[in-house]
Chains A and B, each alone.
Chain A
Amino acid sequence: MFFTTPSGMSRRHFMSHMAGASAMVGASLAMNHSLAAAAATLRANNKRCILMWMGGGPSTIDIWDLKPGAATGGPFKPIRTTGDIEICEHMPLTAQVMDRLSIIRNMSTREADHDRGRYYMHTGYVPNPNVQHPSYGSVIAHELAEYRKELEIPPFVSIGGGSEGPGFLGMSWAPFNVDSNGRIRDLEMSVNEARLQRRLASLQMLETSFISENRGVAAAEHAKVLDKTLQLMTSQQMSAFNVAQEPTAVAERYGQTNFGRSCLLARRLVEANVPFVEVNLGGWDNHDNIFPTLQDQRLPELDKGMSALVQDLTERGLWQDTVVLWMGEFGRTPRINGNTGRDHWARCWSVVAGGGGIKGGIAVGKTNEDGTQVDGPSYSSEDLMASVCQAMGISLSTTFQSSNGRPMKIANGGKIIKELFS
């Protein structure tokens, strides 16, 4: 069971490439039929998710939950939006699509270290020395795999950054990392089909014998990743990565920046039915000189890419099926420090979500007047993850068997943020 079983139409393309493969087509089609029949019994699920990850911990008090007039408020002014909420004046384009996005202003977490915060927000679990938990992308790719039999490219793509790993789900659910240009190295194998066959058959023999020696699960994980690689090497779906194919006007709309291109690439990938795409924008760790940095660099790039993505997904009829999530590892201190910066702050901060049936245009929860604590109930990473799963049509009673045999609830048993679904 180390190699994936034939799973539907996806292999046909590769086989048509293979020299002398025609004799086998009949057999494979027969196989496909029975699988297709089985697939019909599954409920369709076309949901996708795009996570905009803001590495470094964005200052949400300056973007989504402004405190004008408070000593902690900073210089930025709030502006009206198309939703029932106000946001930062330096996000004018996003203000026009806020009817589709909601701000969760009562996030309250405990992890204010980058590594720990990144782990916690990606997995719903605090770091634990004995278990590696799977991240959002791995969980969602894993859960939706059965609905995406025809998908030949990796179900979890991370653009312009590393995301978090697959944990106990295994390396075959790891993020596939690409830069914002979608370039992938070493895709072409420069030998003919006959030699390719010989190479793969030889490799299969070696892989299998090493796995059978019982030296640990990592050996078998390698074989699974070989399988996934072969699949994508031969797939026409790989053209989804070719972001340069987009017309200039479209690229302009997203902004000719790494983040803009990343968002555009993300749209191409969800269009190709990739269930989870993470888009990275770093540089939010603004311990000093925060306001000019936000105003002149981070926010214009974010504003353009984020608004274009929401608008484009809407225009293409993908909005109802695509959950869009914006977050970083934590927020930043309400207090402005001696270097005109803000430090790490997990106690109260904001994330943004929309699409995929999530209600837009509202603020969930609130913080107090100077933004130093949540006023009323608060939500956690687990709750957010549970809500995303809910929107993605993934059952919250899903339980994983972690590698040490302990059952682990999806989203760590988080509660759905009900305001997003009313």
Chain B
Amino acid sequence: MLTMLTRTSRGVRPVLALVFGFFISFVLVCSLNAQTTFERTSVRSSSPSAVKEGVRVPVQVDKINELVRKSWTDFNLSPSAPESDSKWVRRLYVDLLGRIPSPTEQREFENDEAEDKRASLVRRLLHDDRYTLDYARNWTTIWTNLLIGRTGGTGNNSLVSREGMQKYLRDSFARNKPYHAMVQDLITASGSTKPGTENFNGATNYLADKVNEENATLATSSVSKLFLGLQIQCTQCHNHPFNDWKQDKYWEFNAFFRQTKALRRFVQGTNDITNAELIDQDFAGESNNPEKADLFYELRNGLVKVAYPVFVDGTKIDPSGYVQDVNRRQELAKLILGSKFFDQAAINRMWGHFFGYGFTKPIDDLGSHNLPSNAELLSYLADEFRKTEYDQKQLIEWLVLSEAYQLSSKVNPGNQRDDPTLGEVPQFSHYYIRPFAAEDLYESLLLLTRGTGEEDNYSTTEEQKSAWLQQFSTEFGTDEGDESIDFSGTIAQVLMMFNGDMVRAATRADGGGVLQQIILDPKADVRVKIERMFEAALARQPSRKEATAFQQLVQTSGSPVEGLEDIWWALLNSNEFIFNH
């Protein structure tokens, strides 16, 4: 093996290369010594360009561009070059649909000659029926994780129906339900958690596990954090050390949830829980006076204070605990929807999704103690979002058509320091690379594994995906339900990508997936096959050196099919594949 390989290394002296620290002599090393360049990466696409001059874009895009450019000027940054079409389309699919484009979708876009191809692709992904399912799936995944976490509804004692939560979200995103209407549903929902039961209302699953224990403290911290970007959980027990939050604010906010309970429903005659029902019932208050239903909390010095429902801006509501007098969750929803934090929290999260970082760090911590990096842009977008009546697709279109989103992730000497991983405040002068979310990687591998004609069964796929994710999830053992996912960049992830079932299936030439289609194509020779594999996995052509080296590799393999399988394995395991860039 060794001698054979060194002999084929074309005049290069036998080299002992270090491959991941191991001594392996291999033909490829001759290429490794040279700087690899990628001038040819976008040969297929028309000249790399941002949204072109003369292409009509919404006026909001111009304003975003103006405000982002202003910060580049202020910080003396020169933006990266625009990303090539072929790489940009991959980025867009991952951010918008939660998966890479299929080879057909990739080619379709690259072959599009129209000047406004980027804008029309964005509109197609957002509004064409062909993409409704993908779009709804991605945003359902994102919001399921926000609302109930990756483990929500999987534990034995959980009242949450994960399926019910996802059904609600999927329907909402498929119909592009306005954001404020969704939030209204989630905060005020009552009914049954489980699909197929009487009175089913999937939105109830958000609060089903958050209201019964500990006087609804979970509901308090989650609602304020998600929908207002306010971190009040610290003030449960004491005044916040760094911001204006005081302990009374916490309990006054908490008071809005005290009419709400999740009731267990049983299979008749047994102790088996079928589902839960989220209801609002009269709250007598802790001193048993429903006309003025109060609650008590304790200061750190042991003093006990009383609280009634008061919103964070000081607005008081009728303290009656009778639901027919006042439904506290309904009142809370009204107040939240009217708050300026509501719009800003939504924008900050959405911006963070598409650009990798929001205007504050963390993304859900707004307030005078943590000023946004581009306050003007944040408040401009918040206003515009409200004007569209919270049309999320409209907002997405503005963001992904903006100049900053077109930029390459390759830095230049003039913007190298715009690096949030170094603790710098992000100025969006280049796209920030980031590893795929676990779900995005799963969906992308699935796309490459699945044959073209194969039906996608939504619920089966979701179940399998959820089971697959469980292996990476850990909980922290607190009753706030904190969890983390041990995934991006970990050994566990690498092991899964090296040897896991999904990648095994994806790298089998007879597995029925994209690899098989490429290998079986009688018209394609090895060179073309390798090119197709690069396109499918990395959305680019191989460099000249890569093309040569990989062709040689196929020739020296036990069989060409094995060689191609091995290259495919390497492509899927590469940083270039598992990063969105």
A interface residue numbers (CB < 8 A to B): 3-7, 11, 14-15, 18-21, 23-24, 27-28, 55-57, 110, 112-116, 118, 129-131, 154, 161-162, 171, 174, 176-177, 184-191, 194-195, 197-219, 221-223, 225-233, 280-285, 287-288, 333, 335, 337, 339, 343-345, 347, 402-406
Tell whether A186 pairs with B498 under 8 Å between CB atoms, given A3-B18, A154-B491, A227-B20.
yes
CA distance A214 to B558 in the complex (A): 36
CA distance A233 to B20 in the complex (A): 13
CA distance A203 to B550 in the complex (A): 11
| Beta-carbon contact of B550 and A202 below 8 Å | yes
Query: Cβ of B24: which chain A residues have Cβ within 8 Å of it?
Result: 18, 197, 200-201
Q: Which of B150-158, B176-184, B191-199, B479-487 contacts A (4 or more CB under 8 A)?
A: B479-487
| Beta-carbon contact of A210 and B486 below 8 Å | no
| Beta-carbon contact of B498 and A205 below 8 Å | no
| Beta-carbon contact of A161 and B476 below 8 Å | yes
B569 at the interface (CB under 8 A from A): yes
| Beta-carbon contact of A24 and B25 below 8 Å | yes
Contact of B433 among A24, A216, A339 (CB under 8 A): A216
B residues 529-552 touching A (CB-CB < 8 Å): 543, 546, 549-550
| Beta-carbon contact of A28 and B23 below 8 Å | yes
Query: Cβ of A14: which chain B residues have Cβ within 8 Å of it?
Result: 22
Query: Cβ of A335: which chain B residues have Cβ within 8 Å of it?
Result: 298, 302
Tell whether A210 pairs with B435 under 8 Å between CB atoms, given A110-B241, A161-B477.
no
| Beta-carbon contact of A176 and B563 below 8 Å | no
- Max count, chain B CB within 10 A of own CB: residue among A7, A15, A161: A161
| Beta-carbon contact of A212 and B423 below 8 Å | no
A408 to chain B, nearest CB (A): 11
- Max count, chain B CB within 10 A of own CB: residue among A161, A208, A229, A402: A229
Q: Which of B135-143, B517-525, B572-580 contacts A (4 or more CB under 8 A)?
A: B572-580
Tell whether A215 pairs with B409 under 8 Å between CB atoms, given A171-B489, A404-B422.
yes
B residues 451-490 touching A (CB-CB < 8 Å): 471, 474-480, 482, 484, 486, 488-490
CA distance A174 to B484 in the complex (A): 13
Query: Cβ of A280: which chain B residues have Cβ within 8 Å of it?
Result: 477
A358 to chain B, nearest CB (A): 26
B557 at the interface (CB under 8 A from A): yes
B410 at the interface (CB under 8 A from A): yes
B424 at the interface (CB under 8 A from A): yes
Contact of B575 among A11, A201, A219, A230 (CB under 8 A): A219
Number of interface residues of B (CB under 8 A): 92
Tell whether A222 pairs with B489 under 8 Å between CB atoms, given A24-B25, A204-B19.
yes
B531 to chain A, nearest CB (A): 15
B233 at the interface (CB under 8 A from A): yes
Tell whether A283 pairs with B23 under 8 Å between CB atoms, given A129-B361, A186-B498, A207-B575.
no
| Beta-carbon contact of B28 and A218 below 8 Å | no
A114 to chain B, nearest CB (A): 5
B390 at the interface (CB under 8 A from A): no
- Max count, chain A CB within 10 A of own CB: residue among B300, B410, B419: B300
B571 at the interface (CB under 8 A from A): yes
B16 at the interface (CB under 8 A from A): yes
B568 to chain A, nearest CB (A): 9
Contact of B23 among A21, A55, A161 (CB under 8 A): A21
| Beta-carbon contact of A129 and B479 below 8 Å | no
| Beta-carbon contact of A187 and B558 below 8 Å | no
B495 at the interface (CB under 8 A from A): yes
Tell whether A402 pairs with B504 under 8 Å between CB atoms, given A28-B23, A207-B575.
no
B residues 479-514 touching A (CB-CB < 8 Å): 479-480, 482, 484, 486, 488-492, 494-496, 498-500, 504
A-B interface, 7 closest residue pairs, ranked by CB to CB distance from nearest: A282-B477, A55-B477, A202-B570, A404-B423, A129-B361, A209-B36, A130-B423
| Beta-carbon contact of B21 and A3 below 8 Å | yes
Tell whether A202 pairs with B486 under 8 Å between CB atoms, given A207-B575, A402-B423.
no
